[in-house]
Amino acid sequence: MMWMPQRRIWILAGIAIGLGLGATCGHHSVRGDDPPARIDHLDIIDCHTHFYDPSRPEGVPWPPKDSSLYRTVLPGHFRALKQYRPVSGTVIVEASSRVEDNAWLLGLAAEDPFIVGIIGRLPVGSTEFPRQLNRFAANSLFRGIRMRSSRLDELLRASREDEAALKDLHLLADKGLTLDVNGGSGTPAVVAKAAEKIPRLRMVINHIGNVKVSSSSPPEDWAESIRSAARYPNVFCKISALVENADRESGAKAPDDLGFYRPYLDVVWDAFGDDRVIYASNWPVSERAADYESLQRIVFEYAAERGKEATRNFASLNSKRAYQWVERTGRRESIQGE
């Protein structure tokens, strides 16, 4: 019966085609449209955005008028960006030193469930700090404050003589809030000292410590400071500002090849592990070096190499632990279609 061999031929051909397609589909170049280990319906919280409106009667202290960033920047503008993977919420970081601008952001958040938390800015060490913290912490969307690493270092030095120098940070911990720390490449080392002094306080290093990213090997002093901070379980690290800190000609865009950033990402991820790295963009500051889709692609392609669970943690679960941001009804309705 001749139909049996013919049938076998078709079966074998089908298997061969299937294997060929499987091999093709299983291979993803770094620049491919679909990332490896792609996860449908990935919940992504961008934990470092800045929103402001210079047209307000009182204006804004940042950014300066001569900056390309000096324009109205609101959540709607962010959602309109072309994105590599849809972002479903954000934690805003207040860049203004004016206390009342914290209230403005909270007002913005009240009207938009896309905003799941605010990291404010208050004068740590001032007589007004306890009262202002109590005022803003009464709003569940106020999830903590940010300070400069230089100021944190001052307080740590002062605490050698007077432990009360750290009382405001202990108060922050008492309220279950989080401390963001921003500064130069020595920031992780300062955070490590603070984490040892105040183990109850969750801390987040901003922008992987603002190390200069180049084609050279990562600086060993920075790498060691990252590892020292990571030894404390209450410390997290935002993988952000990679493109802004990339070595490039003045005015040029940052490299968009994952390989350029990989050695630095390896240092941070190997130190903090899958459970304490946080996705963040630093938009709109980041746009001076790369478009949002590109910066997002770089880090999510890297995360995909670490696996699906690591990607989910990086995208939102780790930030939930770090900030305890607020789940809000309706926030996912603004997700762009995949």
Its pTM stands at 0.87
189 near 229, Cβ under 8 Å? Answer: yes
Distance (Å, rounded) from C-alpha 318 to C-alpha 112?
A: 22
Instruction: Residues 35-328: name the CATH superfamily.
Output: Metal-dependent hydrolases (3.20.20.140)
* Cα separation, 148 vs 137, whole angstroms: 20
Going 258 to 70 to 106 to 81, the CA torsion angle's sign is negative
Following DSSP, what letter does each residue of 49-97 receive, concatenated?
E--B-TTSTT--SSS-TTSTT-S-B-HHHHHTS--SS---EEEEE----
| Sequence-ordered strand ranges (E) for 174-280 | 178-182, 202-205, 235-239, 277-279
pLDDT at 181: 99
Name which of 142, 231, 126 is nearest 178 in CA terms. 142
Confidence (pLDDT) at 330: 87
CA distance 89 to 141: 13
**What is the model's pLDDT at position 250?**
84
The pLDDT assigned to 334 comes to 56
Residue 211 CB neighbour total at 10 angstroms: 25
From its phi and psi, is residue 98 left (phi > 0), alpha (psi between -120 and 50) or beta? beta
pLDDT at 18: 40
- Could you read off the pLDDT tens digit of each residue along the chain, which spans 338 residues? 334 444 343 333 343 334 343 333 333 333 334 445 567 789 999 999 999 999 999 999 999 999 999 999 999 999 999 999 999 999 999 999 999 999 999 999 999 999 999 999 999 999 999 999 999 999 999 999 999 999 999 999 999 999 999 999 999 999 999 999 999 999 999 999 999 999 999 999 999 999 999 999 999 999 999 999 999 999 999 999 999 999 998 889 999 999 999 999 999 999 999 999 999 999 999 999 999 999 999 999 999 999 999 999 999 999 999 999 999 998 887 554 43
In the DSSP assignment, the letter for residue 160 is T
pLDDT in tens, 281-299: 999 999 999 999 999 999 9
Strands 115-120 and 178-182: unpaired
SS3 329: coil
Amino acid residing at 326: V
Which residues, listed in sequence order, are joined to residue 178 by a DSSP beta bridge? 144, 202
pLDDT tens-digit readout, 203-253: 999 999 999 999 999 999 999 999 999 999 999 999 999 999 999 988 899
